Chain A
Amino acid sequence: MSIDLKTIKHISKLSRISVDEKKAEKLAGDLNSIFDFIEKLNELKTDNVEPLTSVAETTLKLRSDEVKSKNLRDQVIKNSPKENEDYFVVPKVIE
């Protein structure tokens, strides 16, 4: 398998990471060597194996549905790079 520049551009769009030509070429090289290494898994037949989604073999605990922390507005907004009163500010979305 080979990851070409078109695929890199596609993944970069999905990842929301901008990538210029030079970076795309470097990434294609790195990702191809990593995927060559990953391809080893194809040696194994796994048709009848159940996927492992969690090593913690417990069911989620139930708890009563009550609010434990509230009035966190100031804390939530404290680290925002840009805010206005109680709102996060982002570039204009609707023209």
Chain B
Amino acid sequence: MSEVIKQSLSELVENIKSKKLSSSEVTKAFVERSEKSKELNAYITEDYANALNKAKKFDEKPNLDLKLPGIPMAVKDLFCTKDLRTTAGSKILNNFVPTYESTVTQNIWNEGAILMGKLNCDEFAMGSSNETSFFGNVQNPIDKNLVPGGSSGGSSSAVAAQLTPITIGTDTGGSIRQPSSFTGTVGLKPTYGSCSRYGIVAFASSLDQAGPMAQNVKDCALLQEVISTYDEKDSTSIDFKRNEYSKELTKDIKGKKIGIPKEYRVDGMPKEIEDLWKKGIEYAKDCGAEIIDISLPHTNYALPTYYIVAPAEASSNLARYDGVKYGFRAEGENLIDMYEKTRSEGFGAEVQRRIMIGTYVLSSGYYDAYYLKAQKVRKLIKNDFDDAYNKVDAILTPSTPSSAFKIGEKTNDPVSMYLNDIFTVPVNLAGLPGISIPAGHDAKGYPLGLQIIGKAFDEQNILNIAYAMEEKINFKNNITDWWIK
């Protein structure tokens, strides 16, 4: 048996079920590894002592029929966890201790997993590099001073560095898939309505989805099976028949039709990405898939649409942070002054920028020109996918237009930062599932990912394609533990 922290989630589950390992042994190993890895800054809040206690309790009376028996897990700090501080990476929630649990995390604990702590993220999930967090940058374990992607940057860093066997993130425009791509890990953004949004700090409610971030496709399928449930506490949760994704996982994708959208060949895309995509097409063919050229004509309009819709919804959602009911309060001369100072001191620059954009596009006289226009273009983008899915079963694209960049490289140019999400944003706008799998390295040795986009509710299909391709790709992450002294 290999070292505990090197084992995949599926191996750990197997070893706990067959009593080769106890929950305490596993939890202790990941806690020790996390403690040695503070330089990555992946955690905002650690809960190690409680985790070790819970593991001990689990071992005293183990329920080995559960899907995640005694498995320790750290989660993105956007999920409300009862009695454990939840900050959303923001100063304004620095002291917020939820009195309730998010549905997604509750589903995870119900299957026997144990909370280890809360992982760093961009403030209110607004960012592509984890640099907007009030709690500081996160290091990518791939290389020093490299961003881990964002907004689920603490999550991607923690999974790649093996501080947690698996984790969950949230994805509004690419916040699971882009950090997964930057760290050589697997990330799934499920269909909108698949995972409950109850108890997740809201960013843009028509786009937000929670999903698994894992070392491999099988682990990803197992966690998706656990977190995807119908929930009456989320009015947009959808009641559809959910698969047992990990049990039904198969590498047989013979005859599956995979579309290649020509519009994703964007100007200025590095040759490495183009080559990776070509390689991906060959892998898919090797697995028996049929490759079909398709067109998604409104692809170029997705980012501008997103940067109206997401800030508009955010400006509305974040109106609740007023210094009255919870969170940080700045003193003011009167009520309005208190609101304005609280929000000015409590929110970081990127969040303020997006609230201002959102307020502007929803304001009197501009609503039709911006917000309504964006909703109409969003319809055209969704129609593109509907048309494509008359011809194909899934779509293959690169996950990102580049590999991970250095900390500080893009912080002064918001638009160049936004371009990171060019291949992931259309999927959120159309509400579809998308998975990023590691598929190669660039010249610097940094990981690159491929994205497989599915039909709504067809997670099983893209998981299967990813599972088949993963075997052919045989990706190895090159992590040297440089941060451990």
Contact = CB atoms under 8 A, between A and B. Distances in A.
A79 B326 contact: yes
Contact of B378 (A3, A52, A63): A52
A75 B305 CA distance: 39
Given A38-B370, A79-B325, A81-B323, A51 B376 contact: yes
A17 B352 contact: yes
Nearest to A58: B238
B464 to A, nearest CB: 23
Contacts of A75: 99-100
Interface in A1-49: 3, 7-8, 11-12, 14-19, 27, 30-31, 33-34, 37-44, 46, 49
Contact of A14 (B96, B308, B336, B363): B363
A85 B415 CA distance: 48
B328 interface: yes
B228 interface: no
A37 B311 CA distance: 14
Given A37-B303, A55-B192, A90 B431 contact: no
Interface residues of A, number: 50
B411 to A, nearest CB: 12
Contacts of A7: 360
Contact of A16 (B95, B300, B340, B375): B340
Interface of B: 95-97, 99-100, 192-193, 206, 232, 235-236, 238-239, 298, 300-301, 303-305, 307-308, 315, 319, 322-329, 332-341, 343-344, 347, 352-353, 355-357, 359-360, 363, 370, 372-380, 382, 414-415, 418, 429-431, 456
Contacts of A70: none
Nearest to B428: A55
Q: Which among A15, A30, A39, A63 has the highest number of chain B CB atoms within 10 Å?
A: A15
18 contacts: A16-B343, A17-B340, A31-B356, A37-B418, A41-B305, A41-B373, A42-B373, A44-B301, A44-B380, A46-B373, A52-B375, A52-B382, A54-B206, A76-B325, A78-B99, A81-B324, A88-B325, A91-B334
Nearest to A72: B99
